[in-house]
Chains A and B, each alone.
Chain A
């Protein structure tokens, strides 16, 4: 900790004492808060074994949580693939030299980036059936809404990535006789995807989290089955929400870890990472990565 930390001096005797005092004070405050929460839970009978016991039964998992998780992952997986395709198509469209391709692509991307996902999902689920005269399945309403929103965000990420590839790369491609589409597909996009991997992954985490909105249009995902339906039977909404949150956190943390491995693995064979000067923090998020909310 001491070698890469430049914000403060290595603490001397007084500094160590101050840090210890702060640790104790903050620790006491934290314990007090936790104790208060414990007492509050206790007062409302939330530690009662009957509320936690359902999670020790196999049927709770096989009837509610696992099917819910399965539906969440299914919607997320389909939407991930579709939004990556959508992102690449519209990024290429927006980078096109033809205005009749560039302008509409830009308008679509800007529009869907600005519209709240819930609004989009409600329109697709409740509004589209009026127009098409056909019922809309809630799975596809979730997937289409996720694809339009996250695809548009990914399109911007890809576009930024393509524009960050050094100009010599595409010039070299043209020099050896590649066509525009070949330069884009075999030179620019692969490098852009690699450079933008952290941004792409944080957007995929956003996508997984946003599947939870499906519960509002009664898609049977984790929040609907594992929290809403489960707690309707056992009256344990607080407990069910805590378990569901733990599952979401595990899934997303796994996604982030796997992506980190993938990034290191793809970097090994390719260009050396750009040399950056030493900065105040070690290991903080890159600028673009922090913006996916």
Chain B
């Protein structure tokens, strides 16, 4: 544990996890908004919207996140000249947020769709019977019930997002995996403690979060 008595190393550790936290928060907002929109498109009466949603999901769900993040950096930024910020780190951060949001939105969309699937058909039929439009049926009847069913899968999606945020390290952000690699290379004698501290932090945060989402899902579940 002597590695972490050096304040510089603690700094590397803290910086790494702060990046992960920021990436996770920003990308989960982006993915939730985008994913909900995509889910609404996929169930809408307009064929073009349905096709667009389905194409998005099938494209990004089957492409490795590493490739998407790689493309955001080398394609979007280096080649096409899209710049989110003039400084290196914030620029990489926002490119990472774009990649993570675009990718995770596909999974959020599918989770919400599977949640809509748990709502009995009678609910939507009753809504239509009293004259509700598609938008009213979706936003007042179906989505509120689906939202409760979707807590557990959305929870696992966001936990996966927090772990996937490390992949942004591949375009040079000094997040946890790069921080750990640097510490390992500088302190070859303390490899195991370094790994256990980094991996342990993820485990200590994410395992209770998973159980928390499970508890919440049970509490919010619609009793049928």
Chain A interface (Cβ within 8 Å of chain B)?
5-9, 11, 15, 19, 22-23, 26-27, 30, 40-41, 44, 46, 110-111, 114-120, 122-123, 126-128, 130-131, 205, 209-213, 215-216, 223, 227, 231, 237-238, 241, 244-245, 248-249, 252-253, 277-281, 284-291, 293
Contact = CB atoms under 8 A, between A and B. Distances in A.
Contacts of B177: 116, 118-119, 122
B80 A119 contact: no
Is the interface on chain B under 10, 10 to 19, 20 to 34, or 35 or more residues?
35 or more
A252 B64 CA distance: 10
B118 interface: yes
Interface string B102-136: 00100100110111111111011100100001100
A114 B125 CA distance: 42
B189 interface: yes
A280 B142 contact: yes
A23 B63 contact: no
A5 B113 CA distance: 14
Contact of A127 (B107, B138, B191, B206): B191
A128 B181 CA distance: 12
A40 B152 CA distance: 41
A8 B203 contact: no
Nearest to B103: A293
Contact of A130 (B46, B74, B184): B184
A26 B49 contact: yes
Given A114-B207, A119-B166, A248 B45 contact: no
Interface string B67-107: 10011001100111100000000000000000000001001
B181 A126 contact: yes
Given A210-B64, A280-B119, A22 B128 contact: no
15 contacts: A5-B45, A6-B121, A9-B128, A19-B46, A116-B164, A119-B198, A122-B181, A123-B199, A130-B189, A130-B191, A209-B65, A223-B64, A241-B75, A278-B121, A290-B111
Contact of B79 (A11, A118, A215, A238): A238
Nearest to A121: B177
Contacts of A130: 184, 188-189, 191
Contacts of A238: 71, 74-75, 79-80
A109 to B, nearest CB: 11
B5 interface: no
Which 8 A/B pairs are nearest by Cβ-Cβ distance?
A293-B160, A212-B64, A252-B62, A209-B64, A116-B163, A8-B134, A212-B66, A127-B191
B118 A279 contact: yes
A287 B156 CA distance: 12
B46 A118 contact: no
B3 interface: no
Contact of A249 (B63, B70, B210): B63
